[in-house]
Amino acid sequence: MSDSKFESRPLSVPSGRFARMAKFGGLASNLAGTAAINGMQQLAQGHRPKARDLFLTPANMRKVADRLAHMRGAAMKVGQLVSMDAGDMLPPELAEIMARLRADAHYMPGGQLKQVLNANWGEGWLKRFARFDVRPVAAASIGQVHRAQTKDGRDLAIKVQYPGVRRSIDSDVDNVAALLRLSGAMPKEMDIAPLLDEAKRQLHEEADYAREGHYLGRFADLLAGAPDFVVPGRHEDLTTENVLAMDFVEGVGIETLTEAPQAERDRVMALLVSLLFRELFEFRLMQTDPNFANYRYQPETGRVVLLDFGASREFPAAMTEAFRGLMRAGLAGDRAAIRQAILEIGFFAEDTAARHQQLMIDMFEMSMEPLHRPGAFDFAENDVALRMRDAGMALGQDRDFWHVPPMDTLFMQRKFGGMYLLASRLRARIDLREILAPYV
């Protein structure tokens, strides 16, 4: 669809709490009005439309995507997560429209950027730089990245947070949840309070650039002996709660590897899957954001560049060991042990209906199929993802099964799902069992 193309442009971020609430209110009224008109038209034609179908139209989804892209901050971040998690489950026209939220966001005009940097570095900060590119090299939901050279010779990537993001997180999350309720996309009876609380906590952490800088350093130390990876160095003298300064590292989008030789695609994907298992079982520290933009590739060196550690999450030893037990049970094909491990992790409870427990166990065994096949698993020639999606949709639509698992597992699942999508995009062939073996 030609009108679904997202065009990044300079656009001021609404930073006031009331200004953001007003935009949400206006959007909700607009959607409700459009749905009412559509409903009356369908009733006049003898149809009995569902509220969900009236709200989740291409036109309404386009309005939502445009408004969230304008607001940025937590509003856009939640929209990104919804579009990434549910993208394959949405009708193609809606998925295409929501995909714009995963593209580069609009960016701050020069005047607003200057105000943010004045507040963080003090007036006169430009004297420290030989060059500072006002047009960002990347713009996302929470901040944008500029390339700069200091007068002492450092080539830097400067990540600048949008104004008002931190103050608006709680209200943005609540307002997006209200929109989902209004649309009928979420069951009214479902208690999503734990999810909303965790989303707020996670977004507050991602908005703390001093915290991200800490984990940037942690991963640099953990991967110091891994020559296939590059982690940018952190520059403390220019890092604040709202600005993160790090080395500028050259690289191209990881998706460009789709045109690389099969052997190179396989090698890079094996590196990333191996890193995933190291994060879970060895580091007990995982960068949980699977956005492809967080991975770059250096064609001249073959190294993978790792970016954006705002969503880093530490896991307790008990949870890591529970997942180790689950993987062992899955490899052994022991359904009783699988059930016990899933119960310990919290994917379902003792009082969960037997049929729902069996469906969850079936889905897990389905996810283990690539590990049971001998040799390399071909991500381009399989239907496991489709069957998993269909099973997940069937379970999710069963209103008798509303269970929110522990938050750590949701973030971990997101990372695993993102790696699966990337491997499928690269049409990689890797021996998953061989990579997992040292950890179980």
Residue 289 known to be catalytic: yes
Q: How would DSSP label each residue in 52-68? A: HHHHS-HHHHHHHHHHH
Which of these is catalytic: 172, 289, 308, 431? 289
Tell me the H-state helices in 3-57. 17-44, 51-55
β-bridge partners, 378? 429
Contact status, residue 178 vs residue 391, Cβ threshold 8 Å: no
Give the whole-angstrom CA distance, residue 405 versus residue 294: 26
Contact status, residue 104 vs residue 7, Cβ threshold 8 Å: no
437 Cβ contact list (under 8 Å, min separation 6)? none
Give the whole-angstrom CA distance, residue 386 versus residue 363: 12
Contact status, residue 279 vs residue 203, Cβ threshold 8 Å: no
Residue type, position 120, single letter: N
Joined together, the tokens standing for residue 60 give 């309404």
Question: What is the three-class DSSP state of 308?
Answer: coil
Joined together, the tokens standing for residue 166 give 């931190």
- 331 φ, ψ (degrees, to nearest 5): -65, -35
Q: Which residue, 200, 241, 214, 216, is CA-closest to 116?
A: 241
Q: Residue 3, exposed/middle/buried by CB under 10 A (0-12, 13-18, 19+)?
A: exposed
Residues with active-site annotation: 289
